[in-house]
C-alpha cells in the first residue's frame, strides 16, 4: 500500500474500438495492482487502412469500459471527430460550418491536408449516452494528488488532441510544450497518438541532438530527476507490438507490458 500521493497508474492510449484488447488490458491492470487508470485518447475511430479487420470492435463498449474504469480520460482527435466536436487548436485552419457533413475526401481537399479528415474511418456504434461522454472529456488533465506533477494528453501542446497532421520530430518543435510544462511546474508529460512501437522520450536539454524523441526497445525505465515527455505505445494499431504502461509514482519506474498483436 502506497503512502498518500503515491500510486501505480496504468496508462493506455489509442484503443481505436478494440474492445477485446481493452478487456484483456483491464485484467492485466488488476493483476499488476494498479491503483488508478488513465486513458490518453482515441478511444474510438477505426481507420480501415491501419487496423486489423478481424478484431472485435465496438466504440460503444470501449467508451462504456473507459467511463466506468478510468479515473483520468482525455480526448484524442478521433474522439472529437466521432461526436462532431472541433479541437481548441487547428494551426490556423478555419473549419467551415459544414465540416462534419462533408465527406472525408471533401474535407481533405478544402484543408489541403493540414488537419485530419478521417476519410477512411468506418461508421461506429456509439449511442447518445457514449457520445455525450465523449463530448465532455477534456483535452488535457493535470492529475492530483501525485508525488510529481504530471500531464496527460493525446499529443503535444498546443495540439493536445493531435488534430493537425503535424508530427513532432525535432527539438525546436517542442518549445511551446516545454513552456507549458514549465509554467505549470510539470515533471512528466505522457502522450500517445504517434503509434510508436517503443516508448519514446524527449528531454528539454538534449545536447546536440536535433531529434525530439528517442525510442528505446526496453520494457522498464527509470524516469529520473528531470522533466521528460514520454510517448507511449498504442493499445491497438497496425505495427504489431502494442502496449499497456504502468507508472509507479513512488519509484518513478515506467513499465511497458506488451499486449500482443492487435
> What is d(CA 56, CA 42) in angstroms, rounded to the nearest whole number?
16
β-pair partners for 83 = none
β-pair partners for 242 = 260
What's the chain's average pLDDT?
Answer: 91
Model confidence over 89-111: pLDDT tens digits? Answer: 999 999 999 999 999 999 999 99
Residue 262, pLDDT above cutoff 50: no
Q: Is the pTM of this model over 0.85?
A: yes
Sign of the alpha-carbon torsion through 158, 164, 168, 170: negative
> What is d(CA 50, CA 237) in angstroms, rounded to the nearest whole number?
6
| Cα-only R_g, the chain | 18
Model confidence over 155-209: pLDDT tens digits? Answer: 999 999 999 999 999 988 999 999 999 999 999 999 999 998 889 999 987 655 6
**Burial track 35-63 (b if 16+ CB lie within 10 A, e otherwise):** ebbbbbbbbbbbbeeebeeebebbbbbbb
Write out the H or E segment, with its range, that includes residue 200: strand 200-203
Which residue segments constitute the domains of the chain, with CATH numbers given?
8-260 (3.60.21.10)
Amino acid at each position: 500500500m502506497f503512502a498518500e500521493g503515491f500510486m501505480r497508474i496504468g496508462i493506455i492510449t489509442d484503443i481505436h474500438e478494440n474492445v477485446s484488447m481493452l478487456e484483456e488490458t483491464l485484467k492485466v491492470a488488476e493483476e499488476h495492482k494498479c491503483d488508478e487508470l488513465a486513458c490518453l485518447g482515441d478511444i474510438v475511430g477505426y481507420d480501415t487502412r491501419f487496423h486489423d479487420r478481424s478484431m472485435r470492435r465496438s466504440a460503444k463498449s470501449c467508451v462504456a469500459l473507459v467511463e466506468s474504469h478510468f479515473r483520468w480520460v482525455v480526448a484524442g482527435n478521433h474522439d472529437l471527430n466521432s461526436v462532431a466536436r472541433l479541437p481548441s487548436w487547428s494551426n490556423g485552419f478555419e473549419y467551415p460550418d459544414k465540416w462534419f457533413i462533408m465527406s472525408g475526401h471533401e474535407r481533405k481537399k478544402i484543408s489541403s491536408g493540414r488537419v485530419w479528415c478521417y476519410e477512411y474511418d468506418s461508421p461506429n456504434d456509439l449511442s447518445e449516452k457514449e457520445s455525450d461522454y465523449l463530448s465532455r472529456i477534456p483535452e488535457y488533465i493535470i492529475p492530483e494528488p501525485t508525488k510529481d506533477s504530471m500531464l496527460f494528453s493525446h499529443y503535444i501542446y498546443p495540439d493536445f488532441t493531435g488534430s493537425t497532421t503535424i508530427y513532432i520530430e525535432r527539438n525546436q518543435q517542442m518549445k511551446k510544450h516545454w513552456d507549458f510544462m514549465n509554467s505549470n511546474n510539470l515533471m512528466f508529460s505522457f502522450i500517445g497518438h504517434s503509434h510508436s512501437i517503443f516508448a519514446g522520450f524527449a528531454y528539454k536539454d538534449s545536447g546536440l541532438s536535433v531529434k525530439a524523441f528517442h525510442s528505446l526497445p526496453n520494457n522498464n525505465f527509470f524516469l529520473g530527476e528531470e522533466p521528460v515527455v514520454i510517448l507511449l505505445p498504442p493499445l491497438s494499431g497496425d505495427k504489431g507490438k502494442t502496449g499497456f504502461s504502468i507508472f509507479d509514482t513512488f519509484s518513478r519506474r515506467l513499465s511497458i507490458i506488451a499486449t500482443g498483436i492487435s
